[in-house]
């Protein structure tokens, strides 16, 4: 278990506290919290989110397991963004993904934009040059099953720092090559175990598990760990991500439960 990067710098701490602390204040604007659309289920989700943020100690680490605990892992959801039969297929990015994959992702870039000082794009080689973190953690699917795997990647915080998160930043949203996008608050984004993974069980991330790069959010359910990442967007205000986000599809935005 790596514990070397838990300590936050003062600036990051202030950024994190400002975004989450602000969200917990009674009088905060609705744009600082996920919307409920007047839907009673979404109100329950919001209550759970706010209670967890208020009661649970911030940034505790999810359990990390031993090598011998690694289990088999089903690959569910979209297992190939280039497959036009998949329900989340995107007609523009699907074929693009196919070309990038044919070239072993040499031309693939992760764009980081939005409320950052220096919008940037990173190649796989750029990301692999950054300090790596390897963790053996449990993937919990909303369906009810779980799997333990070893993930290798770069801390999301390292990549966000390279682009320079602005102090007003509150959420980190990330988009895949198919019609999938998700978002997390700054507390989960800066969590030491939230990584951009390019390796799984000691080898390159397999296609069905999100090649070349996927998110790992170990404090939430599996569907926040989006596969086939294309772009990261930092925002000040809550963005429900429209038709490709979980909220408008009837799923909770915060799934720490």
Q: Which residues bind another protein (CB under 8 A)?
A: 40-45, 47-48, 52, 56-57, 60-63, 65, 69-76, 79, 138, 140-148, 200-203, 206, 208-209, 218-221, 249-252, 256-257
Minimum distance from residue 155 beta carbon to another protein (Å): 16
User: 167-190 burial string, b = 16+ CB within 10 Å, else e?
Assistant: eebbbbbbbbbbbbbbbbbbbbbb
Minimum distance from residue 220 beta carbon to another protein (Å): 6
Q: Closer CB to another protein, residue 43 or residue 166?
A: 43
In this structure, are residues 81 and 228 in contact, taking their beta carbons and an 8 Å threshold? yes
Q: Closer CB to another protein, residue 23 or residue 233?
A: 23
198 is written with which tokens?
């390019």
In this structure, are residues 183 and 245 in contact, taking their beta carbons and an 8 Å threshold? yes
* Cα–Cα–Cα angle for 76, 222, 146, rounded to 5 degrees: 75
87 is written with which tokens?
């329900």
Q: Closer CB to another protein, residue 114 or residue 210?
A: 210
122 is written with which tokens?
């990173």
Q: Closer CB to another protein, residue 105 or residue 122?
A: 105
Q: Is the torsion defined by CA of 179, 184, 190, 195 positive or negative? A: negative
Q: Closer CB to another protein, residue 200 or residue 213?
A: 200
Minimum distance from residue 17 beta carbon to another protein (Å): 18
Minimum distance from residue 13 beta carbon to another protein (Å): 19
Minimum distance from residue 201 beta carbon to another protein (Å): 4
């Amino acid at each position: 278990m790596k514990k070397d990067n838990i300590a936050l710098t003062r600036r990051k701490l202030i950024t994190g506290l400002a975004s989450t602390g602000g969200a917990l204040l009674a009088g905060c604007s609705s744009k600082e919290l996920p919307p409920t659309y007047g839907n009673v289920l979404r109100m329950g989700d919001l209550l759970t989110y706010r209670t967890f943020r208020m009661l649970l100690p911030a940034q505790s680490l999810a359990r990390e397991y031993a090598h011998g605990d690694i289990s088999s892992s089903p690959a569910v959801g979209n297992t190939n963004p280039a497959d036009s039969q998949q329900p989340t297929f995107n007609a523009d990015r699907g074929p693009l993904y196919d070309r990038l994959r044919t070239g072993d992702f040499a031309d693939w870039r992760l764009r980081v934009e939005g409320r950052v000082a220096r919008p940037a794009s990173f190649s796989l080689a750029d990301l692999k040059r950054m300090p790596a973190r390897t963790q053996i953690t449990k993937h919990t699917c909303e369906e009810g099953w779980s799997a333990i795997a070893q993930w290798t990647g770069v801390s999301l915080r390292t990549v966000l720092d390279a682009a320079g998160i602005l102090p007003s930043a509150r959420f980190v949203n990330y988009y895949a090559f198919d019609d999938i996008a998700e978002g997390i608050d700054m507390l989960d984004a800066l969590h030491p175990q939230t990584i951009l993974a390019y390796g799984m069980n000691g080898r390159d991330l397999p296609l069905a598990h999100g090649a070349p790069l996927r998110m790992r959010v170990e404090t939430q359910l599996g569907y926040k760990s989006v596969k086939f990442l294309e772009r990261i967007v930092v925002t000040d205000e809550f963005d429900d991500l429209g038709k490709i986000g979980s909220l408008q599809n009837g799923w909770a935005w915060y799934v720490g439960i």
